[in-house]
């Protein structure tokens, strides 16, 4: 077996560093930046470098650096939670459909096809609008809308593995279906699934930021990168940093997830081992 590693190119290495940096900012940033992101002062729209405000203040006099740091956590929370929900539901449906075959597969995959017939962003907006804005509804809406794509991939991979000799031998030996799926099939399809899940994380982050921009996501006064872009667009020409900074951070996170997903796919591709 030839060992495969991640981050074998400089774009991949940079993507891993960016992804790790954003996660660290979300976890540790609020502990390092002591300024209150909700505290308003009379000094509105201070320029970067002002005393006590390295990145200035927004239109309500709130510290911009503190809002950027504290705004990372809600976005990552929604993105990771929604991706985990999508991965759990999609993998379960795909495993059952690909292993059972027959009528069970037809019924499950027709439901998946029906969900995929709707544009994902429209499905997310409908689900979130029906449940009302907020963190929980955002996680459920994004997770449910992204699950069908993972279900289709899991079904294809499971059907391929289910036809192999080791699975047939397990069936003939009387091994239960849950044991075969969890202990035999899932570990062998985990690589491609993991790579796709990381790419799905970037889509979830884009949806979360977009819905917050539309007012259907994280609600003010809690800082959130998507809402910060919406709130700052009025001052795009007088204080462009209010839009550029949160938008750039969101873009970097989304692009980093895509590059990391590509890197994982290449590293875990079984056709690349010998």
Q: How far is CA 26 from CA 73, 85, 90, 108, 166, in A?
A: 5, 20, 27, 37, 44
Query: Range with the lowest mean pLDDT among 99-113, 148-162, 260-274?
Result: 260-274
Q: Quote the pTM value.
A: 0.89
* pLDDT for 164 beyond 60: yes
* Between 48 and 118, the higher pLDDT residue: 48
Query: Range with the lowest mean pLDDT among 1-5, 225-229, 252-256?
Result: 1-5
What's the rounded mean pLDDT across residues 25-32? 90
* Between 5 and 177, the higher pLDDT residue: 177
Task: Measure the CA–CA gap between 2 and 247, rounded to whole angstroms.
Answer: 41
SS (H, E, C) the chain: CCCCCCCCCHHHHHHHHHHHHHHHHHHHHHHHCCCCCCCCCCCCCCCCCECCECCCECCCCCEHHHHHHHHHHHHHHHHHHHHHHHHHHHHHHHHHHHHHCHHHHHHHHHHHHHHHHCCHHHHHHHHHHHHCCCHHHHHHHHHHHHHHHHHHHHHHHHHHHHCCHHHHHHHHCCCCHHHHHHHHHHHHHHHHHHHHHHHHHHHHHHHHHHHHHCCCCCCCCCCCHHHHHHHHHHHCCCCCHHHHHHHHHHHHHHHHHHHHHHHHHHHHCHHHCC
Q: Are 90 and 150 in contact (CB under 8 A)?
A: yes
Confidence of residue 124 (pLDDT cuts 50, 70, 90): confident
Residue 50 forms beta bridges with which residues? 53
Length of the chain equals 274
Q: Select the CATH number that applies to the domain covering 65-272 from these four: 3.30.1360.70, 1.10.3720.10, 1.10.275.10, 2.40.50.100.
A: 1.10.3720.10
SS (H, E, C) 178-233: HHHHHHHHHHHHHHHHHHHHHHHHHHHHHHHHHHHHCCCCCCCCCCCHHHHHHHHH
Residue-level pLDDT at 2: 44
Confidence of residue 101 (pLDDT cuts 50, 70, 90): confident
* pLDDT for 210 beyond 80: yes
Confidence of residue 1 (pLDDT cuts 50, 70, 90): very low
Looking at every residue in the chain, the average pLDDT score rounds to: 88
Domain boundaries defined on the chain: 65-272
Task: Measure the CA–CA gap between 230 and 215, rounded to whole angstroms.
Answer: 9
Confidence of residue 51 (pLDDT cuts 50, 70, 90): confident
Nearest to 196 by CA among 109, 263, 98, 143: 263
* pLDDT for 26 beyond 50: yes
Residue-level pLDDT at 272: 46
Percentage of the chain surpassing pLDDT 70? 96
């Amino acid at each position: 077996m030839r060992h495969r590693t991640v981050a074998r190119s400089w774009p991949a290495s940079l993507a891993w560093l960016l992804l790790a940096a954003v996660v660290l900012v979300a976890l540790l940033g609020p502990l390092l930046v002591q300024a209150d992101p909700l505290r308003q002062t009379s000094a509105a729209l201070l320029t970067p470098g002002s005393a006590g405000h390295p990145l200035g203040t927004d239109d309500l006099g709130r510290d911009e650096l503190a809002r950027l740091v504290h705004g990372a956590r809600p976005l990552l929370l929604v993105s990771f939670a929604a991706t985990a929900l999508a991965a759990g539901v999609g993998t379960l449906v795909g495993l059952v459909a690909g292993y059972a075959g027959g009528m069970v597969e037809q019924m499950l995959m027709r439901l998946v096809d029906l969900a995929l017939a709707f544009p994902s962003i429209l499905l997310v907006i409908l689900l979130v609008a029906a449940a009302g804005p907020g963190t929980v509804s955002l996680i459920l809406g994004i997770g449910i809308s992204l699950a069908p794509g993972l279900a289709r991939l899991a079904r294809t991979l499971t059907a391929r593995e289910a036809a192999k000799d080791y699975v047939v031998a397990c069936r003939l030996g009387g091994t239960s279906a849950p044991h075969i799926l969890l202990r035999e099939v899932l570990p062998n399809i985990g690589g491609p699934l993991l790579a796709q899940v990381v790419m799905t994380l970037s889509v979830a982050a884009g949806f979360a930021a977009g819905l917050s921009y539309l007012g259907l996501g994280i609600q003010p006064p809690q800082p959130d990168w998507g809402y910060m872009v919406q709130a700052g667009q009025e001052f795009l020409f007088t204080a462009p940093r209010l839009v550029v900074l949160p938008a750039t951070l969101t873009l970097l996170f989304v692009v980093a997830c895509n590059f990391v997903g590509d890197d994982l796919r290449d590293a875990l591709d079984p056709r690349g081992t010998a």
